[in-house]
Amino acid sequence: MAILAGETLPEIGGKPWHPPDDMRLGAAFFVRGDFPWLRHYFGSRKLASILSPGIGGVVSWGGRAPAKLADSVARFRHLRHWYLEDGFLRSMGLGKSGAIPLSIVIDDLGLPVDANRPSRLERLIEGVGEAGELGRAIREQIVLNKLSKYNHLPHRPPSIAPTTKRRILLVDQVVGDVSVGRALGSKTSFETMLADALASDAQCLIRTHPDVMAGLRKGYLTDGASKGDAILVDAEVSVASILDVVDEVWTVSSQFGFDALLRGIPVRCYAAPFYAGWGVTEDHFGVHTKAVLAGRRTKLRTVDQIAAAAFSLYPTYRDPADWREIDVFRAIELIVAQQKAVA
pLDDT at 13: 53
Strand partners, 82: 59
**Distance (Å, whole) CA 94 – CA 9:** 30
In the three-class reduction of DSSP (H, G, I as helix; E, B as strand; rest coil), residue 14 is classed as coil
pLDDT tens across 96-119, in order? 778 899 999 999 999 999 999 999
Q: Between β-strands 202-207 and 231-233, what pairing exists: parallel, antiparallel or unpaired?
A: parallel
* Least confident span in 197-206, 250-259, 263-272, 277-286: 197-206
| Mean pLDDT within 16-29 | 93
pLDDT tens across 1-16, in order? 333 333 333 344 569 9
**Predicted structure pTM score:** 0.93
**Distance (Å, whole) CA 128 – CA 130:** 6
CA-based nearest residue to 142, from 71, 49, 238: 238
pLDDT tens across 177-189, in order? 999 999 999 999 9
Which residues have C-beta within 8 Å of that of residue 261, sequence separation ≥ 6? 267, 275, 280, 281, 303, 306
| Mean pLDDT within 78-95 | 94
pLDDT at 95: 80
Sorted by where each begins, the domain ranges of the chain are: 2-129+313-342, 153-298
CB 115 within 8 A of CB 306: no
pLDDT tens across 211-246, in order? 787 777 899 998 666 666 789 888 889 999 999 999
**Distance (Å, whole) CA 136 – CA 157:** 26
pLDDT at 279: 98
Which residues have C-beta within 8 Å of that of residue 210, sequence separation ≥ 6? 94, 236
Please determine, for residue 136, whether its predicted confidence score (pLDDT) is greater than 50: yes
**CATH of segment(s) 153-298:** 3.40.50.2000
